[in-house]
Structure 1
Amino acid sequence: MTIGAPTDQPDAHAAPQADYRDKVLAVEPGGNEQIPLEARHGTPRGLFWTWTAPNLEFATIFVGVISVLYFGLSFWQAVAAMALGNLLGAAAHFLLSAEGPLHGVPQMVLGRLAFGYRGNVIPATFMAVMCGVGWFATNSVSGAFALSSLFGMTPLVGLVVIVVLQTSFAFFGHNLVQRFERIAAPILAVIFVIGAVIIFGKSQLGAPSADGGFSTGGFLLTVGAAFGYTAGWTPYAADYTRYLPPTVSKIQTGLFASAGLFLSTTFLMVVGAASITIGDPVSDNPTEAFTANLPSAVADLTLLAIAIGAVAANAINVYSGAMAFVTMGFRLPVGLQRALVTVFFGVVGFLVAWWALDDAAASYEAFLLLVAYWIGPWLGVVFADRLLRREQPPLALLYDTGYRNWAGVAAFVVALVGSVLLFCNQEKFVGIVVRAVPELGDIGAFVGFVIAFLGYLVLARGQVEESQRAYR
């Protein structure tokens, strides 16, 4: 580990966010600077809606659909698997969200503790590409299909409308994104609850699984897919709590954020699983197949909700994807660096979504597990660092371009590569262990977490202690 002068440390009191505070229709200035005390505002309660709205959309429903349709589980088996995966993801979100008010910096800036200033570029790149672009494209596709079904337009035209809306919200930044989520969440919840009541009334919840028994592989695949979806939000956690005053309760901050995440994901995933017990899909358009089970008026409202939900999810995805990109250290105009990168991700995400329109179902199933593969090792390194670091790190350490912690990089890379080679279960590649024991399903993310966590504890103890002494 090397520690140098904090050559990239921003002056907290000169941060451009000082004049931003609670303005809504204003472009959030700056990039990854610490939020000064005079710009802090809000309460933890609002986080419940922040993390409810982006999950009230079709991508969440589709996790439940694939658990029964592709992974072969019965409804109740799917419910247990999805609840477990969501609970694990929400627990991680609780811990990371709670740190935001204390430090006042984005999640990927906090990641520099475990990876070093330069080493943190690796997980930041994963987040920017797979979350800021990948999730953006995935959710844009479902929104495009919903608008296509609702208004009779082509999916491509629907995609253009969705991308323009969600990129505009993210361009303005934190406050407008938060306000939109709080307005959208109750509206989306009411529509989806109405649809859920009708679907549960038609469903056959006691229907057996595809093979009439219990599939360990299908169960673990579903746990992994649900975890990949819900834990996919964890690299964003502090981005939406860093504006809160440092005096707010850490317990309340983590609880409201994780509760909104767990309840919304579990609710709609369960609805998706129930919808498949009604009968086989009637359309290749996944949103149309889902709403075919609903009366026409409710179906139209649900399609509209799916489109709005896609915008709610992607406003967050592209915002935090841009934040991760800025954290890599690229030099851009300070006042607009985050906003400019947001537009770039909107364009790239549109192109990826356009490419995925032809085979949305297969693309989504593979993508969920791919997200989980890197999230597991990343969480393992981050949590191990928190365990070793007993004191609050100073701001200087987070912005010191000379700070190195290659133990985090080594633990992450070894865990990622090892878990994929041994435990991956994808159509195009099956890991060595899974080939021998297919019943394992896909536990790559969880194996990656354990390897990274233990590896970092062994490799980084001395480095963490040295960095703590150097900045004490």
Structure 2
Amino acid sequence: MSSSLNSDEKIATLEDGKVDNAYRAEVSPDEVIVRRFGKFGGVLGKLFASGVEARGVERVLEEDRENKNVWNNLLMWFSVNAVLTTVPIGVLAQQFFTLTLPHAIAVILCFGALGAAGTAFIATLGPQTGLRTMIIARYSSGYVGGTIYSILNILTQLGFSTTCVILGGQTLASVNPGTLPLVVGIIIVAICSLIPCFVGYNLVHVYERYAWIVTFIIFIMLYALGGKAGYDISAQKPLEDTGKDYIADVLSFGGIVFGSLTGWGPIAADYNCKLPATTSSVKVFTMTFFGLWIPVCFVEILGAALMTITDPAYVAAFGDGNTGALLAQTLTQWHGFGKFILVLLAMSVIANNIPNTYSAGLSMQALGRPFAMVPRVFWTVLAFVIYTVAGVAGREHFSTILSNFLAVLSYWTAFFIVVTLEEHVLFRRKSGPLGGYNLDDYDTPSKLPLGVAGVLAGCIGAAGAVVGMAQTYYVGPIAAKLGPFGGDLGFELAAAFTAVSFPPLRYLEIRLTGR
């Protein structure tokens, strides 16, 4: 492609799709979008000029990257996870799985570390490639496989967002019961989540860099207030299962904890793809790991601890699973100031919901070139509408949605991380069969892997999840061997089945197709 074309000719060529991706990157995304949408493009041009991010899933070239401190990774994930939404996960340890507090803590620490490690690895690929996570998936599973993962990720992020807005709305409604309808609370939280995502990458990072400070202090206060109300470490002891049933409880709760961390895996590279390619992968991994593991463990353990308080007022407040009311009861000791803290806590879910909303829009673009041609901001708004409606519809079933959603979430994220890891380590290393990533090929199906190996390995992983899962609606044959309700081994078997099947399938695919 001749470099002598002027800007208008380049954009026209891009619109025709007759261009390779190296050339595509020479033209800024906002120029292409404005030209593509004719009269409406003028409106978009004004949005972009005012600071709204035009870039979607296009690769970020090295010269366009920003030399940001890798410590931002740590602070961002702190803000995302040191939030109200993390509390109910710890609550589930006693609510559904009858685990005592010491056992709940052990499960949170161990399974949390495992999930954080998987997500931290995915994060290291952002600076190395300059690509969003769902686009990176194309290098292991092809264009079709990447599309399948994008669909799963859209459902994941919308599911996360739904639980966020419900819990935030519940908590706002608990400040002065009877004054603010739950539906209104949900809508308030959803709109506040949309604003940074609409603007884009830079505002997302600015918000997340500081949001954790207030919420982390609030959680320390809640620990203290709960202690004043009286933690009873032995409160759950008479109810705790034994033998196979106890093992089943540990595995099932562990799967939920694991899913709460690996749920960020399919979006982890989205937030550091503008870091220079020379950024240390060890630093990115370390910052991401501790940015996930520390706040998740800290807040989930708080949720488990609050469930040991035997005061009748606390038991009544929790009722049928209203974590917001439980926290409101904890803060009643501070009267009016406690209500102010509760409002801040309710709004903390915004930090958690921002990456869900932002990445849901990117995953919609990653469904294929026709979707990528639609501006990112449109998909972001669509994601907002979907999860707000879902939150309003499912507002009375928060605990059920949370427990079922997070457990199932851990299944697909487990085999996604395994496929991406093995592709990177076995096939994309410099001395491997493919010798690295040809990053200019990210949107050229004919140059990407066929995807048969990745898709088949994912299906095999899904089969492992089916035989190992233990949900209210289905218990797999292996899971059924662990007690009457089953012990959830879904994510472990999904990862194991995928890990064994992907390498030989991928070696065969490379041998037959050369890519």
Normalising to structure 1: TM-score of the pair? Answer: 0.91
Partner of 1:434: 479
Of 287-296 and 83-92, more deviation after overlay is shown by 287-296
Partner of 1:50: 76
Is 1:455 paired with 2:501?
yes
Contact kept, 8 Å, 2:73 with 2:287, in 1: the verdict is yes
Q: Distance in 1 between matches of 2:50 and 2:104?
A: 42
Give 1:277's aligned amino acid. T
Partner of 1:445: 491
Alignment of 1:19-418 (within 5 A): 26-41=51-66, 42-131=68-157, 133-150=158-175, 152-201=179-228, 202-212=230-240, 214=242, 215-279=246-310, 280-284=315-319, 285-294=322-331, 295=333, 296-297=335-336, 299-331=338-370, 334=373, 337-389=375-427, 390-391=429-430, 392-402=436-446, 403=448, 404-416=450-462, 418=463
**Cα RMSD (Å):** 2.4
Q: Distance in 2 between matches of 1:15 and 1:373?
A: 38
Q: Distance in 2 between matches of 1:26 and 1:286?
A: 38
How far is 1:224 from its partner? 0.4
For residues 462 and 289 of structure 1, do their structure 2 counterparts lie closer, same or farther at Cα, with a shift above 3 Å needed?
Answer: same
Q: Distance in 2 between matches of 1:24 and 1:196?
A: 46
Q: Distance in 1 between matches of 2:22 and 2:62?
A: 17
Count of aligned residue pairs for this structure pair: 460
For residues 117 and 444 of structure 1, do their structure 2 counterparts lie closer, same or farther at Cα, with a shift above 3 Å needed?
Answer: same
Q: Distance in 2 between matches of 1:376 and 1:210?
A: 34
Q: Deviations over 1:429-451 (max 9, x none)?
A: 11122223328611101110110
For residues 15 and 24 of structure 1, do their structure 2 counterparts lie closer, same or farther at Cα, with a shift above 3 Å needed?
Answer: closer
Q: Distance in 1 between matches of 2:355 and 2:340?
A: 23
Whose RCO is larger (CA < 8 A, sep 6+)?
1
Q: Deviations over 1:152-176 (max 9, x none)?
A: 3101011111111111211111111
Contact kept, 8 Å, 2:93 with 2:99, in 1: the verdict is yes
Contact kept, 8 Å, 2:411 with 2:490, in 1: the verdict is yes
Of 374-383 and 107-116, more deviation after overlay is shown by 374-383
How far is 1:225 from its partner? 0.6
Normalising to structure 2: TM-score of the pair? Answer: 0.84
How far is 1:11 from its partner? 2.7
How far is 1:24 from its partner? 12
Q: Distance in 1 between matches of 2:350 and 2:195?
A: 10
Contact kept, 8 Å, 2:236 with 2:308, in 1: the verdict is no
Q: Deviations over 1:164-194 (max 9, x none)?
A: 1111211111111111111211111111111
For residues 6 and 57 of structure 1, do their structure 2 counterparts lie closer, same or farther at Cα, with a shift above 3 Å needed?
Answer: same
Contact kept, 8 Å, 2:156 with 2:263, in 1: the verdict is no
Partner of 1:425: 470
Q: Distance in 2 between matches of 1:66 and 1:84?
A: 16
Q: Distance in 1 between matches of 2:200 and 2:106?
A: 37
- Ranges in structure 1 where 5+ consecutive residues have no aligned partner: none
Of 40-49 and 201-210, more deviation after overlay is shown by 201-210
How far is 1:291 from its partner? 2.7
Residue 156 of structure 1 aligns to a residue whose secondary structure is helix
Q: Deviations over 1:320-367 (max 9, x none)?
A: 111111111142585x62111000010011111111101111111111
